[in-house]
Amino acid sequence: MIRLSKSVVGKLESEAVARVIENSGYLGMGAVVNLFEKDLEEYIGSGYRCVCVNSGTAALHLAIQAVTRPGDEVLVPSFTFVSTYQAITGAGCVPISCEVDPTSLLLDLDDAEKRITPKTKLILPVYYASNVTMVDAYQEFAKKHHLRIIEDAAHAFGCISNHRKIGSFGDIICFSFDGIKNITSGEGGAIFSADQKVIQKVSDARLLGVCKDSEKRYKGERSWVFDVTDQGYRYHMSNIFAAIGIVQLRRFETEFAPRRRHIAKSYTMLLSGNPNIQLIPMNYDDTVPHIFPILVLNGKREELMQVFKEKDIQFGIQYRPNHLLSYFKTSYALPVTEDIYSKILTIPMHPELSDSDIEFICSIINNL
């Protein structure tokens, strides 16, 4: 079987986990989490602070809670993983489903602008398929409309825009380190910001809202006499997860990023010119692609999915638009998003995909 995605982990990660188990006497959140945060801050650069949590969804939830009040409206593309939406409603806010641009598949700012009301407090763009080409436009939009901006950069760890790493500029940036992301910590996520108030809020909220408990945990201590001033959750990262993340980060620039770029460039070379396929135009020198979506035109998607099934090749449909889900249903249609949903297909993308796998997958697509 050719897998759509997978965790690429091995001896180094298991040795790191073994060290935590055998040496530390504590598997929960402690010094190793602090080390991972420091490593991430150093990698992203620019002095932005980082807070690690136990998922990308938790990162988004805490970030949203830190800058909104219940009832606030959040501009968000419907075309995203359901995590983005659950994080918004989890914080008591209202997702305002917006269209995406039909070429980049990213949040369409003209559509978003029409949906602004006095209750709009936040714009939450998603870097779908690691495409960060709109980052400056989003920052300008937020500034123009006096909105906070949280970037859902779950797909975009390691991506670069105008020589700056995603996470090293802007307002608040959230990453995911789940099992199949550009780096994994098993499960996990991180919030980056230069806003010290936000950092303190999310840092407390990840530990049940116990004020300044993180600093104690890093030293192997606990707060016994404490105050709680806000809603919190058990969202902190464990030393086990952090140990895996530290190793993955070390492997990222030399192993994972170049391989993911190579796969995306190979797909682009082999599939461009195919009249049944629309690709997302991207510069893969600056991007570390987490997924590789294609739009299958001329009503050929069903046929392609059938052949993939017969040949034991996994595929994905990323994503079912959230405004079509019962819990987030809108009273209005989003025709561009719905059209994309009828054509989108993600094909295998992970660092262990071989060149012959890539050629085999493309030969099937090109034989449609």
Which stretches of the chain bind ligand PLP, using CB under 6 A? 55-57, 80-81, 83-84, 126, 152, 154-155, 176, 178, 189
Closest to ligand PLP by CB, 81 vs 276, is 81
Closest approach of ligand PLP to the CB of residue 255, in Å: 21
Q: Say if CB 277 and CB 366 are below 8 A apart.
A: no
CB of 56 to ligand PLP, least distance (A): 2
**N-to-C CA span, the chain:** 20
Q: Which residue is nearest to ligand PLP (CB)?
A: 56
Q: How far is the CB of 177 from ligand PLP (least distance, A)?
A: 7
The closest alpha carbon to 159, from 20, 282, 271, belongs to 282
Residue written as tokens 């079912």? 320
| Number of continuous H segments (helices) and E segments (strands) in the chain | 13, 12
- Per-residue tokens: 310: 């017969």
3-state secondary structure of 312: coil
Residue closer to ligand PLP by CB (options 126, 257) is: 126
Pairing mode of beta strands 292-296, 277-278: antiparallel
Considering the complex, state which of residue 81 and residue 328 has its C-beta at the smaller distance from ligand PLP.
81
The DSSP code sequence of 136-195 is HHHHHHHHHTT-EEEEE-TT-TT-EETTEETTSSSSEEEEE--TTSSS--SS-EEEEES-
Q: How far apart are CA 210 and CA 203, in angstroms?
A: 9
Q: What are 50's strand-pairing partners?
A: 192
Phi, psi of 301 (to 5 degrees): -65, -45
Q: Which is nearer to ligand PLP, 81 or 169 (CB)?
A: 81
d(CA 40, CA 17): 18
Residue among 169 and 235 whose Cβ is closer to ligand PLP: 235
Least separation in angstroms between residue 341's CB and ligand PLP is 15
Nearer to ligand PLP, 87 or 257 (CB): 87
Which residue's CB is nearer to ligand PLP, number 59 or number 210?
Answer: 59
Catalogue the long-range contacts made by 113-117 (C-beta closer than 8 Å, 24 or more residues apart).
113/141, 113/145, 115/75, 116/75, 116/145, 117/73
Extract the tokens encoding 162. Answer: 């105008």
Q: Which is nearer to ligand PLP, 157 or 169 (CB)?
A: 157
